Amino acid sequence: MMQSISVQHIVKTYSEKKQTIKALNDISFEVSKGELFGIIGPDGAGKTSLFRILTTLLLADSGTATVEGLDVVKDLKAIRKISGYMPGRFSLYQDLSVIENLNFFATIFNTTVDENYDLIKDIYSQIEPFKHRRAGKLSGGMKQKLALSCALIHRPTVLFLDEPTTGVDAVSRKEFWEMLRRLKEQGITILVSTPYMDEASMCDRVALMQSGSIMTINTPQGIVQSFKNAIFGVRAKNMLHLLNDLKSNEMVSQAYPSGIYHHVIMKNGESKEELSAYLQTKNHQQLEIIDSTPTIEDCFMNLMQENNE
Amino acid sequence: MRTLKFLLQKEFRQIFRDKANVRMIFMMPVIQLLILPWAADYEIKNIKLSVADHDHSTYSRQLVSKITSSGYFQLTGYKDSYEKSLEQIEDDEADIILEIPASFEKTLIKENEAKLFVASNAINGVKGSLGSAYLRSILQDFNREVRLEWIQMPKFNPQTQIEVTSSNWFNPSMNYKFFMVPGMLVLLLTMVGTNLTAINIVKEKEIGTIEQINVTPVKKYHFIIGKLIPFWVLGLIAMTMGLIIAFVIYGILPLGSYLTIYGFAAVYLLAVLGLGLLISTFVSTQQQAMLISFFIMMIFVLLSGLYTSIDSMPVWAQWITRFNPVTYFIEVMRMVVLKGSTFADIKIHLLKITGFAVALNGLAILSYRKRS
């Protein structure tokens, strides 16, 4: 099967004063047609640079990338016709109304809203009651829906969404991911980036990215399953004290707060009893240790630790 | 074509939707043209005069009243010593000092000759030099009167005298407004053209909408033409309003034809719009765009020959004025309005401005990139 997006050994550096910063350090991955592919990483991981290269806005220092078999450097005009891009920052005309923005983007792609209405109907119908409102006056979630509608209006075959859910409330985020799943059913390849680890499970496959490098690419289940170390949830009366004690222990690879528990990743499969015995010596009250199933976030923290070592 | 139509539609919508924009485009020229020509007048009036009179004679008093009745001077001090008058200059209460020595009257009558001393404050150079020139001509006049009074004029003048009368061609009454208003109109047009274009495009950069446009198949020249046309139209509208004000308020009707003015303005606007476009390609915020166009405007205004004559500038500055499009339009404007010049008279100017338009827009298009 042909790949929809193919990225091979992309390197991008920025020079700032005398320092050079590697925003993308030899990135390679492939996305198949109709896949919902997530790029997950904290701020500054290089996600936006990658998106800008793929949407032909930025030139890479070295490496090649193709979108639907078209080279991002040579065939930029063709790529601009078939891809939809929604940047992380809301960048539609704030002083134009919802319907004016949509019409405008439809016409510059040489199409009309009516022609592709079926594709955006699901999303657009939610903001249609406000279609004469200026885009700048919409709420965050509505802006997101409008931006997605505008990115879809020319029926792109590949959709690039750069941090679409950043700054959007939990309910709207959930809705947004549902919309993406429905778009995927239409056969559109979707490349989406997000700093939220919990959103990884919504993707078909994810790439975990950190400081310009991809740490792993797998399905969300695959990533969790590849997590081999023992992981526990620990709580006690004095949580801060507990965290310090956990971090200073030899057996513990990593410890960090996660909800009401501290998540503890053990180095070499040490048992719960061993950890418990250690913490008893530190006189922790109301000590509770539970088995925990690793989440994507746990995997990310662990991979990050391994990369740093 | 269809794309361009929609780009234009969008642009006009955005411009007219923002009330502040409309106000800026239309009110700014009106207010400036209503106020500035009254201030930009080279005739110096209200020169503050301090007299240090050591004589206190009839003649000295006659002289002072003659000076003050001329209308140019305002007597702000009548002191008995030069030091006291100088203090007034130091306190900015006087611009010019006239010192009348003791026994001025006596020596004048007895020896047919008397000396006066004039000192002017040169901080404001124009006021200082013009003030002492005015004063000198009044003194000469006074001198003649005194001679008439005391000396019997011979029947035939023993000395040959040349009397000069002058007439001001094209502006008989030397009305400064006839000459300043057309020039100011040019400045307004330049400001509208350069500033608004630069700021408009940089705003798209700042908000990020330019990225959204860049990922579309919109062609570079479509985008640029879509930006130029609206401001070209606005510039012509602003000029029309200016010409109406020039006629209604100042009674200025060009001797030449309006067609010549509009024809030249159409090309000129292309040049200044190109400049705005060029500015927008190498700055990234509206603030930077503002500052740069402000800086360029300053140079354009002061080296355009609007306020000061280009011929009296040093040679290197004259060279700069040759690269200033404002210079040419001000010249053309004055030629058409005051002299009634036609296209044939301004064809060299027109050619040069066309050169500017091509060069500036060409550079701008070359440096505008859809990707970084």
Q: What CATH number is given to the structural domain containing A204?
A: 3.40.50.300
Domains of chain A: total: 2
Instruction: Please give the mean pLDDT across all residues of chain B.
Output: 86
Residue B162 predicted with pLDDT over 80: no
Residues B314-334 have pLDDT tens digits of 999 899 889 999 999 999 999
Same domain, A153 and A286: no
For residues A53 and A202, state if they share a domain: yes
Whether residue A304 lies inside any domain: the answer is no
What tens digit of pLDDT does each residue of B135-153 get? 888 888 888 888 777 766 5
On whether any CB of chain A is under 8 Å from the CB of B221, the answer is no
The sign of the CA dihedral A175, A176, A182, A185 is negative
Helix (H) or strand (E) run with residue B120 in it: strand B117-120
- Give the CA angle between residues A233, A234, A239 to the nearest 5°: 135
- Enumerate the residues of chain B whose CB falls inside 8 A of the CB of residue A100: 10, 13
pLDDT confidence tier of residue B157, bands split at 50, 70 and 90: low
ipTM > 0.90, yes or no: no
Domain membership of residue A199 as a residue range: 3-224
**Domain endpoint, select from A176, A205, A224:** A224
Task: Give the CATH number, domain containing residue A248.
Answer: 3.30.70.2070
Concatenated DSSP letters of B200-255: HHHHHHHHTHHHHHHTSS--HHHHHHHHHHHHHHHHHHHHHHHHHHHHHHH----S
**Tens digit of pLDDT for each residue in A82-94?**
999 998 888 899 9
Residues in chain A closer than 8 A to B212 (CB atoms)? 85, 87, 91-92, 105, 150
pLDDT at B156 over 70: no
**Contact B212/A77, CB-based, under 8 Å?**
no
pLDDT at residue A14 greater than cutoff 90: no
Q: Is a pLDDT exceeding 90 seen at residue A256?
A: no
H helix runs in chain B, sequence order? 2-17, 19-39, 58-69, 82-90, 104-111, 125-150, 177-207, 209-214, 220-250, 258-282, 286-302, 315-322, 325-334, 347-367
Whether residue A156 is found in the same domain as residue A29: yes
Work out the minimum CA distance from A200 to partner chain B, whole angstroms.
26
Nearest to A93 among B14, B214, B215 (CB): B14
Phi and psi of A28, rounded to 5°? -140, 135
Which residues in chain A have Cβ-Cβ distances shorter than 8 Å to B209? Answer: 91-93
Q: Give me the domains of chain B, ranges plus CATH numbers.
A: 2-40+176-367 (no CATH), 47-150 (3.40.1710.10)
Q: Hey, is the C-beta of B13 within 8 angstroms of any chain A C-beta?
A: yes
At A166, the pLDDT band (50, 70, 90 cuts) reads confident
Please tell me if residue B6 touches chain A, with a CB cutoff of 8 Å. yes
Helix or strand or coil: residue B139? helix
Please give the average per-residue pLDDT across A46-72, as a whole number.
91
Structural domain contains residue A307: no
A277 and A172 both lie in a single domain: no
Same domain, A192 and A239: no
Q: Mapping DSSP to helix (H, G, I), strand (E, B) and coil, where does residue B117 land?
A: strand
User: Does A51 share its domain with A185?
Assistant: yes
Residue B118 DSSP SS3: strand
Q: What is the mean pLDDT of residues B127-141?
A: 85
Q: Are residues A272 and A201 in the same domain?
A: no
Asked whether residue A23 is domain-assigned, the answer is yes
Helix, coil or strand: residue B313: coil
Answer for the pair A207, A300: CB distance below 8 angstroms, yes or no: no
CA angle B198, B202, B205 (to 5 degrees): 160
* Domain membership flag for residue A47: yes
A60 and A133 in a single domain? The answer is: yes
Q: What is the DSSP string of B60-107?
A: HHHHHHHHHHTSSEEEEEEESSHHHHHHHHHTTS-SEEEEE-TTHHHH
Residue that is last in its domain, among A178, A197, A224: A224
A52 and A120 within one domain: yes
CA distance B339 to B170: 6
Q: Closest by alpha carbon to A259, among A233, A238, A285? A: A233
Same domain, A159 and A254: no
Q: Are A146 and A127 in contact (CB under 8 A)?
A: yes
Same domain? A151 vs A266: no
Whether A191 and A279 share a structural domain: no
